[in-house]
Amino acid sequence: MYWKLRLPGVLLLVLSFCRLTAQEKPREYSPYSRFGFGDLTEPHFSALGQLAGIAAGFHDRNMLNYSNPAALGSLRNTAFEGGVSTKFTTLKNQDLSKDFFGGGLDYLALGVPIFNPINEALDRLERKFHWGMLVALKPFSHVGYDVSQIDSITGTGRYERRYTGSGGTYEFKWSNGFEYRNFSAGLGLGYLFGRMSYRRNLDLLAVSLPYSTIFLDEISVKGFRWNAGLQYRINLNKSVEGESESTKTLTFGLYGQTSQSYNTISDHLYRRQLIVSAQVGVVDTVRDEKEIKGRGKLPGEFHLGVFYSDRYKFQAGGQLSLVSWSAYTNDAKPEILDNSSQFAFGLSWCPDISSLDNLLKRITYRVGFKAGNDPRSFDGEQLKNYGVTFGVGVPFVFQRKVSFANFAVETGSMGLKDKLKSNYLQLKLGFTLNDDEWFLKRKYN
């Protein structure tokens, strides 16, 4: 029998994990999030993330593909997905090492096939056109750092520079995917919003009446985004009797978007303060501006990949991603970034999804690897990143339907080896709750 888990158990697990990952501090710590648009979050849901995010060719009748909307045409069951994670990070340079712990909610999404396959079976229809829709909310980027440096100069003595940042952006997305025979196309529309805060302090430590200079920039972001995708599936064998689809397929896919604009509203406060005991007095305000309107541009992206599937027995795929970050602009916080690229590969294996008496045979085992460069640079050298993911997908019965719990461990690094490098270990938990009774037409004889 399948592992049975009812609604109270699911909610208890999710709430317990959220309680462990929720912190009164930034979601993640990264000194590099001071630059650009911050650290971009993982754009893939749990199962696909375990395969290193090979979204270009990936499609599944039970699971959602957030990145390539064309894959939604393959959706046959209503799917509600949610995920949380917790991350342990170690920052290292030549002189010191420091550890951080954070995490939180990764995404919430609902995907619906517009045409119910049960209706088709009851009406004895063999539909060649399918339509899937997704609505999702997830973080897009985050800013979180607290870095200080103490130095000294002749005549002034010791001083401290401190850099702190917090906040981030989110994306609400609505996507539609259409499948006709072996060809799929899709379009995603998103709304980007959020607020980021950047603060710099310069404190004189060795004078009788110390000054503190503050530079505070707070930037609100909003704008619409879109992306589009295509997939073409090649059947490698004939469908067996009673099956409408081939069991072995090879899918080529691509998705992306052009450069897209967004709007900013920023507040800027630059002032010098005199600290006398517990009292702080403003000596000089260099800049105090509020609600300054500006614009920015996010880069165009192109992702190309291939995905092989032997139903749920074995799956494998790869993907190449190119992002034109050199086109990035931000009036409120101008910076120059470099183009980035990434290669990803993933595979999964399930011994026997139809086994009735052995849970280990029904578990899907996944592994993924990704490596590339980051758009941000340090001392003229572009940052590098890589990650390795190990995960399992465990089927369970929810509301008399087979659903999935996905557990993953990811380890990797980002930065430069001889300068500042971030090593991390991330634990991820995601749920896919399926239902095939939405839009079901009841019939009575």
What is residue 378's predicted lDDT score, i.e. its pLDDT?
80
pLDDT in tens, 132-152: 999 999 999 999 988 887 877
pLDDT in tens, 278-313: 555 667 787 888 999 999 999 999 999 999 999 878
Return the residue matching tokens 């971030």. Answer: 422
What is residue 71's predicted lDDT score, i.e. its pLDDT?
96
What is residue 351's predicted lDDT score, i.e. its pLDDT?
92
Show the tokens assigned to 280. 């702080």
Q: How far apart, in whole angstroms, are the C-alpha atoms of residue 372 and residue 35?
A: 18
pLDDT in tens, 412-433: 998 887 778 889 999 999 999 9
How much of the chain exceeds pLDDT 90, in percent?
54
Q: What average pLDDT does this structure show over 335-363?
A: 90
What is residue 26's predicted lDDT score, i.e. its pLDDT?
62
At 127, the pLDDT band (50, 70, 90 cuts) reads confident
What is residue 359's predicted lDDT score, i.e. its pLDDT?
84
Q: Does position 13 have pLDDT exceeding 60, yes or no?
A: no
Residue 170 CA, distance from chain mean position:
10
Residue 435 CA, distance from chain mean position:
25
Q: Does position 16 have pLDDT exceeding 80, yes or no?
A: no
Q: Does position 156 have pLDDT exceeding 70, yes or no?
A: no
At 123, the pLDDT band (50, 70, 90 cuts) reads low
Q: What average pLDDT does this structure show over 9-37?
A: 60
What is residue 25's predicted lDDT score, i.e. its pLDDT?
55
What is residue 439's predicted lDDT score, i.e. its pLDDT?
59
Q: Where do the domains of the chain lie, and which CATH numbers do they carry?
A: 11-207+218-263+297-369+376-383+411-435 (2.40.160)
Of 126 and 233, more confident: 233
Q: How far apart, in whole angstroms, are the C-alpha atoms of residue 48 and residue 87?
A: 18
Return the residue matching tokens 């295509």. Answer: 230
Give the SS3 label for residue 215: strand
DSSP string, 378-437: ETTEEEEEEEEEEEEEEEEEETTEEEEEEEEEEEEEEE-TTS-EEEEEEEEEEEEEEES-
Q: Does position 4 have pLDDT exceeding 50, yes or no?
A: no
pTM of the model: 0.86
pLDDT in tens, 374-416: 999 887 888 999 999 999 999 988 767 788 999 999 999 988 8
Q: Which of 4-13, 156-165, 247-256 has the highest mean pLDDT?
A: 247-256
Whether 52 contacts 64, CB under 8 Å: no
At 271, the pLDDT band (50, 70, 90 cuts) reads confident
Whether 116 contacts 73, CB under 8 Å: no
Q: Rg of the chain's alpha carbons, rounded to an integer?
A: 25
Q: What average pLDDT does this structure show over 338-344?
A: 95
pLDDT in tens, 210-251: 678 889 999 999 999 999 999 999 998 876 555 556 788 999
Of 180 and 2, more confident: 180
Q: Does position 155 have pLDDT exceeding 80, yes or no?
A: no
Whether 317 contacts 346, CB under 8 Å: yes
What is residue 247's predicted lDDT score, i.e. its pLDDT?
82
Give per-residue burial for 371-405: e unless 16+ CB within 10 Å, then b: bbbbbbeeeeeebebebebebbbbbbebeeebbbb
What is residue 159's predicted lDDT score, i.e. its pLDDT?
76
Average pLDDT, the chain: 85
How many residues are present in the chain? 445
Distances (CA, A) of 309 to 44, 46, 247, 320, 355: 19, 18, 8, 19, 19
What is residue 240's predicted lDDT score, i.e. its pLDDT?
59
